[in-house]
Structure 1
Amino acid sequence: MSNPTYTNLGNHAETIQLDYDPTQISYSELLDIFWQNHQPTSNYGSSQYRAIVFYHDQEQRKLAEESKMALATKLGKEIVTEIAPYQNFTWAEDYHQKYQLRNSPLAAEYLQIYPDLTDFVNSSAVARVNGYLAGYGTSEMLAGEIDRLGLSQAGKDYLQKSVSR
């Protein structure tokens, strides 16, 4: 299926695509973070929500499989997370992109800065604010970066209030 939708996924799964700078963080470090932040032994019941690590080359495949085996040994349980070759990535429909941010008053500010959907979705600032609005991050973390997020003073005030709840 070349154009899956939320209601007609075919064999697709909901995933994220992560672009990273290997001079800043290694693939192995990303795998460690991944394994620590999901339930690798849980079968999610629906293929839509299954956990998958995609690899782009044989070195990534080797690292992913080794890390999966090491975790299985450590936990003494089967790891159901799939390891699969990357083929392509299909964005979710527009209304799913940066969902928390789009449902806040801050959306208007960022849509003015990034009127093109691709730029909006790919913006690090948009991703960070969406994460804060979803409950990820602390007031202390936000204080360290709020001035780099491109918000007006009213936007900063709204975000600080939202995060401190």
Structure 2
Amino acid sequence: MKLSATVFVVAIISWAVNSAVSIRFPDRISEDSNGSADHPLRTAVFALGSFWRSEAAFGCLDGVVRTTAGYAGGSRPNPEYRSLGDHAECVQIEYDPRIISFRELLDVFWASHDCRQVFGQGPDVGNQYRSIIFTNGTEESRLAALSKEREQTRSKSSVVTTQIQQLGTFYPAEPEHQKFELRRNPLLLQLIGNLPEEELEKSSLATKLNGYAAELCPPKIQRQIDAKINDITRKGWPILREI
């Protein structure tokens, strides 16, 4: 019987306590995930409501290397969570274009929020939660416009409110807002070695587990991570290095 991520984690914690096991922490993990000179990573920035969930929505995708919650789209320099000005909460996605395309990221963008809701998503209402596709260059602007046209044709009774803007400055959010869903799961944090703040924000593994913790991975990937965690617990709690 397959357990949900939440029930699964509770079950493992209970087993760990009853078995009096401990997690072994080897030397700190290093990750080489910046692409190469021949195949550099690209970035995409989207605003689609609260950046806690937005970051998690892209984390598990094949080809996504790193995600960062942040602010963009406004004029205030150095915005902060309690003082955003006219910026929107957004997520920056670093991805390998050989594996996933900007067009595919757009598909996830549209599927992950209600683009017809004006200035908000669900209970989160306000200018900071508006829907925006930020673009870098003419080709991305063209793809964004085409995808918006397709989305609009799906419903004649309501208007797609998503804005398309050339990206200015992206400001990373404060550390406590990065990998927010993962931070709420102490067991998963332990399984990857309780990474220091800076490493947690940049870790590709943490990026995937952030999506997993929110149960937003594609079903196949969610099952793969379930199996991986099951496997490492059976082997005596080694550190989780990769998925």
Choose between structure 1 and 2: higher helix proportion. 1
Would you say same fold, with TM above 0.5?
Answer: yes
- TM-score, length basis structure 1: 0.78
Q: Give runs of aligned pairs for residues 1-165 of structure 1, distance below 5 A.
A: 1-43=76-118, 44=120, 45-76=125-156, 77-105=158-186, 106-110=188-192, 112=194, 114-115=195-196, 117=198, 119-137=199-217, 141-145=221-225, 153=233, 154=237
CA distance in 2, matches of 1:148, 1:46: 40
Give the Cα–Cα distance (whole angstroms) in 1 for the partners of residues 104 and 98 of structure 2. Answer: 12
Give the match for residue 159 of structure 1: none
- Counterpart amino acid of 2:224? G
Q: What is the Cα-based RMSD across aligned positions, in Å?
A: 2.9
How far apart are residue 109 of structure 1 and its match? 4.9
Per-residue deviation, residues 104-142 of structure 1 (Å, max 9, x unmatched): 323345464x4251x321212102212222232488634
Structure 1 gaps, min length 5: 157-165
Identical pairs, percent: 33
- The AA in structure 2 aligned to 1:55 is T
Structure 2 gap ranges (5+): 1-75
| 3-state DSSP of counterpart to 1:79 | coil
Deviation larger for 140-149 or 130-139: 140-149
Other structure's SS at 1:18 match = strand
Q: Give the drift of 1:73.
A: 2.1
More RCO (CA 8 Å, sep 6+): 2
- Count, aligned residues: 154
